[in-house]
A and B are shown apart, each in its own frame.
Chain A
Amino acid sequence: DQQVKQNSPSLSVQEGRISILNCDYTNSMFDYFLWYKKYPAEGPTFLISISSIKDKNEDGRFTVFLNKSAKHLSLHIVPSQPGDSAVYFCAASYSGNTPLVFGKGTRLSVIA
């Protein structure tokens, strides 16, 4: 049973536009959420995180939004760049002491 779901396996966006990647979770105990980015033949790298006490966290072009009532989070990339083309994984944990649970990932393609 997938506790963290990324329902879109892929997404294509034009350069300069906004990319929105979505993630849903089922476990209401989750209180910490992360996004990882993965290029081919490399391991995932941490991108941005958010605690459940916040509903938004911003880092440059990347913003993560959390809607606890809907058990939904999203990653916004503005403006999108070709170098953002990668697989993005959503992950969640609770109490800071449990293993991260990852979604299956969304492949983002930014077209020049």
Chain B
Amino acid sequence: DAGVIQSPRHEVTEMGQEVTLRCKPISGHNSLFWYRQTMMRGLELLIYFNNNVPIDDSGMPEDRFSAKMPNASFSTLKIQPSEPRDSAVYFCASTEGQGMDNEQFFGPGTRLTVL
């Protein structure tokens, strides 16, 4: 298995532009998580899905952030409009089952820079 796939690996954009990050979870995994890593706040959970349904989006910082999971093999995290403070590494992770004690497998991350 290729593991969790994220694209793009790097994104540089200008303030105000729309940014879309993509994630393909491991086949057969039914829970998907979006995290953001910054120096100040470490690794924060933004939102997670179970069976394609958003379960908890309390970590989404603002309405500028939205996430979708139209099917079991694809999810997007969109920022519109982007701001410099959104610059971070965004990780997607997936796991089998619903229990959080199942190992989460992380993708390589997307490094976002908003100028």
Contact = CB atoms under 8 A, between A and B. Distances in A.
Nearest to B92: A43
B4 interface: yes
B45 interface: yes
A44 B100 contact: no
A43 B106 contact: yes
A46 B104 CA distance: 7
Interface stretch (A16-24, A58-66, A94-102): A94-102
A51 B91 CA distance: 25
Contact of B108 (A42, A89, A93, A105): A42
B98 A99 contact: no
B91 A44 contact: yes
Given A99-B33, A103-B42, A105-B43, A41 B100 contact: no
B101 A96 contact: yes
B85 interface: no
> Which of A51, A100, A105: most chain B CB closer than 10 A?
A100
Contact of A43 (B59, B99, B103, B107): B107
B45 A99 contact: yes
Interface string B84-115: 00000001010000111101111111000000
B109 A100 contact: no
B108 A102 contact: no
A43 B106 CA distance: 5
Contact of A96 (B42, B91, B93, B100): B100
A100 B4 contact: no
A89 B91 CA distance: 14
Contacts of B59: 99
Given A97-B100, A99-B100, A44 B56 contact: no
Interface of B: 4, 33, 35, 41-45, 48, 56, 59, 91, 93, 98-101, 103-109
